[in-house]
């Protein structure tokens, strides 16, 4: 049994979300600038969104062994995501219960306990207070559970992806993911053994609201313009063979790719139908990276007919899968958005490696992962910078107080363009903003709602 503590009130300055007219601030076709600029709305989001719904925390491969931990955040809360001695994954608040300092200052490691750097209180990795220096200075019994670390009460994994929520009424994670779980399955199942291991990351920080990144996560409208230099670089030596994101160049909405909204703020953009389905089809799309010709020749020599299906494992999967509010699978990356303030956000691109499930030659796996390092450098370095420039320039534009609205109505009101599917999902052409209109309905639902939020502590 763990002790649940109900969180009594939303942040005090918000004074109840009723102060805002959410239906005015977010309308069917437009959103008010305040939702990106108002510190009080941001403070509300840190509880209602990053608290009220499942938030991505970490990947199981980052804490594979007992007593492994990694420090992360859920909204602004610092967390220690740990696999305890019994193998249970917990999300402990990285906040000493004595006077509130950050308990663990390391990014990751392996330990059975954490000692606070301030006065030396010592906590087991289950969150329980193990002991305090010179306990005879306390009149009361320090084994009271209120001194154990706070924990996220609901932590669940879906095929290695660890999510947490404070919402005691949240749907089980698999149900919450709904139709997008199948797309995550497909993303994983193309890899040997249906899994990946997370490596280090490209880390960006931008001066803009976190939603600007999520609003862009399924945006097929900007590619030909914002990423023009990357598109041209990718295709400079490609001749007839379109590379990289070339299918955005001329008339993206006539391509077979599409965008689909699957509910709960989640959506994906599927560019896989643009591809030739054959071994090497994905590899052929990959733009020039250092050393790739050498690896290709080597693979052909070593593995003959099998070479191209192996090289496909180094190619970037052409799908963007977005789980509201902070998680994307993009190419072979796991991208995570971390709000730092109303106008400051981290955008982190974790690379992934494949592992040998016993069906591949060992040296092929090593080389595929070396190549994946190269293919995964491309977009963060040459594409993300374009996106971040847009996010910062939007934040700047939204400082113009009298000009209040941003529009998201591309594809809205054109009969037959946005399709409601029998399973409740919504499909639209790749450049439509239907995904944004839909994820804002979820944002609004969460911001409006009284929520049953709680933390827990070991008893």
DSSP-derived 3-state class of residue 165: strand
Binding mask 289-308 for Fe ion (x = CB under 5 A): --------------------
Rounded CA separation 445/439 (Å): 10
Find, among 338, 4, 263, 41, the residue nearest to 145 by Cα.
4
Q: How far is the CB of 227 from Fe ion (least distance, A)?
A: 6
260 forms bridges with which residues in the sheet? 268, 427
Which lies closer to Fe ion via its Cβ, residue 48 or residue 216? 216
Which lies closer to ligand FES via its Cβ, residue 11 or residue 131? 131
Asked if 142 is part of the footprint of ligand FES (rule: CB under 6 A), the reply reads no
Phi, psi for residue 272 in degrees, rounded to 5: -60, -35
Which is it for the CA torsion 72, 321, 53, 393, positive or negative?
Answer: positive
Which lies closer to ligand FES via its Cβ, residue 96 or residue 150? 96
- Angstrom CA distances, 281 to 242, 314, 450, stand at 12, 12, 49
Burial of residue 265, with CB atoms counted within 10 A of its CB: 0-12 exposed, 13-18 middle, 19 or more buried? buried
Q: Classify residue 126 by its DSSP letter.
A: T
Which of 106, 118, 225, 407 is close enough to bind ligand FES by CB under 6 A?
A: 118
Round the CA-based radius of gyration of the chain to a whole number and report it. 23
Find, among 332, 351, 249, 321, the residue nearest to 283 by Cα.
332
Which lies closer to ligand FES via its Cβ, residue 120 or residue 341? 120
Which lies closer to Fe ion via its Cβ, residue 153 or residue 331? 331
Residue 101 binding: pick among Fe ion, ligand FES, none (C-beta 5-8 Å cut-off by kind): ligand FES
DSSP-derived 3-state class of residue 330: strand
Q: Which stretch binds Fe ion (CB under 5 A): 242-250, 256-264, 380-388, 421-429?
A: 380-388
Rounded CA separation 151/106 (Å): 18
Q: How far is the CB of 234 from ligand FES (least distance, A)?
A: 51
Which lies closer to ligand FES via its Cβ, residue 246 or residue 455? 455
Rounded CA separation 368/352 (Å): 11
Which of 79, 116, 152, 368 is close enough to bind ligand FES by CB under 6 A?
A: 116
Asked if 215 is part of the footprint of Fe ion (rule: CB under 5 A), the reply reads no
DSSP-derived 3-state class of residue 72: strand
Q: Which stretch binds ligand FES (CB under 6 A): 78-86, 114-122, 201-209, 297-305?
A: 114-122
Find, among 391, 258, 264, the residue nearest to 324 by Cα.
264
Q: How far is the CB of 110 from ligand FES (least distance, A)?
A: 21
Helices 39-48 + 434-448 axis angle, to 10 = 80
Which of 88, 105, 119, 236 is close enough to bind ligand FES by CB under 6 A?
A: 119
Asked if 99 is part of the footprint of ligand FES (rule: CB under 6 A), the reply reads yes
Q: Which stretch binds ligand FES (CB under 6 A): 95-103, 263-271, 291-299, 426-434?
A: 95-103
Which of 92, 96, 150, 310 is close enough to bind ligand FES by CB under 6 A?
A: 96
Q: Which stretch binds ligand FES (CB under 6 A): 98-106, 240-248, 258-266, 440-448?
A: 98-106
DSSP-derived 3-state class of residue 81: strand
Which lies closer to ligand FES via its Cβ, residue 98 or residue 409? 98
In 139-269, which ranges are continuous DSSP H helix?
173-177, 180-189, 210-216, 223-226, 228-235
Phi, psi for residue 50 in degrees, rounded to 5: -80, 70
Strands 419-420 and 68-74: unpaired
Q: Count residues contacting Fe ion (CB under 5 A)?
A: 1
Asked if 387 is part of the footprint of Fe ion (rule: CB under 5 A), the reply reads yes
Residue 118 binding: pick among Fe ion, ligand FES, none (C-beta 5-8 Å cut-off by kind): ligand FES
Which lies closer to Fe ion via its Cβ, residue 89 or residue 230? 230
Residue 387 binding: pick among ligand FES, Fe ion, none (C-beta 5-8 Å cut-off by kind): Fe ion
How is residue 195 written in tokens? 């899994």
The residue assigned the tokens 């965008």 is 259
Which lies closer to ligand FES via its Cβ, residue 96 or residue 330? 96
Q: Count residues contacting ligand FES (CB under 6 A)?
A: 9
Asked if 128 is part of the footprint of ligand FES (rule: CB under 6 A), the reply reads no
Which lies closer to Fe ion via its Cβ, residue 234 or residue 387? 387
Asked if 130 is part of the footprint of ligand FES (rule: CB under 6 A), the reply reads no
- By CB under 6 A, name the binding residues for ligand FES: 96, 98-99, 101, 116, 118-121
- By CB under 5 A, name the binding residues for Fe ion: 387
């Amino acid at each position: 049994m763990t002790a649940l503590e109900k969180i009594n009130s939303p942040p005090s300055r918000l004074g109840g979300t009723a102060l805002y007219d959410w239906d005015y601030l977010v309308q069917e076709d437009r959103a008010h600038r305040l939702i990106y600029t108002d510190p009080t709305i941001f403070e509300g989001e840190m509880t209602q969104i990053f608290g009220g719904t499942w938030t991505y925390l970490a990947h199981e491969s980052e804490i594979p062994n007992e007593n492994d931990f990694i420090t992360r955040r859920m909204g602004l809360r610092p967390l220690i995501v740990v696999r305890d001695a019994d193998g249970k994954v917990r999300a402990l608040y990285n906040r000493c219960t004595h006077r509130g300092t950050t308990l663990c200052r390391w990014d990751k490691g392996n330990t059975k306990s954490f000692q606070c750097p301030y006065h030396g209180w010592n906590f087991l990795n289950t969150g329980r207070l193990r002991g305090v220096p010179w306990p005879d200075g306390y009149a009361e019994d320090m084994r009271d559970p209120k001194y154990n670390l706070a924990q996220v009460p609901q932590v669940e994994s879906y095929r290695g992806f660890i999510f947490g929520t404070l919402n005691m009424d949240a749907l089980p994670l698999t149900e919450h993911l709904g139709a997008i779980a199948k797309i995550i399955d497909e993303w994983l199942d193309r890899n040997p053994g249906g899994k990946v291991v997370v490596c280090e990351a490209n880390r960006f920080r931008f001066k803009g609201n976190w939603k600007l990144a999520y609003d862009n996560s399924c945006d097929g409208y900007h590619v030909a313009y914002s990423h023009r230099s990357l598109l041209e670089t990718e295709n400079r030596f490609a001749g007839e063979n379109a590379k990289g994101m070339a299918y955005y160049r001329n008339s993206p909405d006539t391509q077979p790719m599409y965008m689909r909204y699957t509910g709960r703020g989640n959506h994906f953009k599927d560019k896989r139908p643009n591809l030739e389905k054959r071994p090497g089809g994905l590899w052929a799309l990959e733009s020039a990276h250092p050393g790739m010709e050498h690896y290709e020749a080597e693979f052909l020599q070593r593995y003959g007919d099998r070479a191209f299906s192996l090289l496909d494992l180094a190619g970037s999967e052409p799908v963007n899968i977005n789980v509201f509010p902070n998680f994307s699978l993009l190419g072979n990356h796991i991208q995570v958005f971390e709000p730092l303030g109303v106008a400051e956000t981290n955008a982190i691109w974790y690379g992934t490696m494949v592992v040998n499930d016993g069906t591949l030659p060992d040296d092929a796996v090593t080389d595929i992962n070396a190549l994946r390092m190269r293919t995964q450098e491309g977009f963060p370095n040459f594409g993300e910078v374009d996106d971040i420039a847009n996010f910062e320039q939007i934040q700047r534009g939204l400082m113009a107080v009298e000009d209040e609205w941003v529009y998201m109505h591309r594809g809205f009101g054109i009969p037959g363009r946005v399709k409601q599917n029998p399973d409740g999902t919504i499909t639209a052409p790749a450049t439509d903003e239907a995904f944004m209109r839909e994820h804002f309905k979820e944002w609004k639902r969460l911001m409006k709602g009284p929520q049953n939020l709680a933390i827990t502590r070991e008893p």
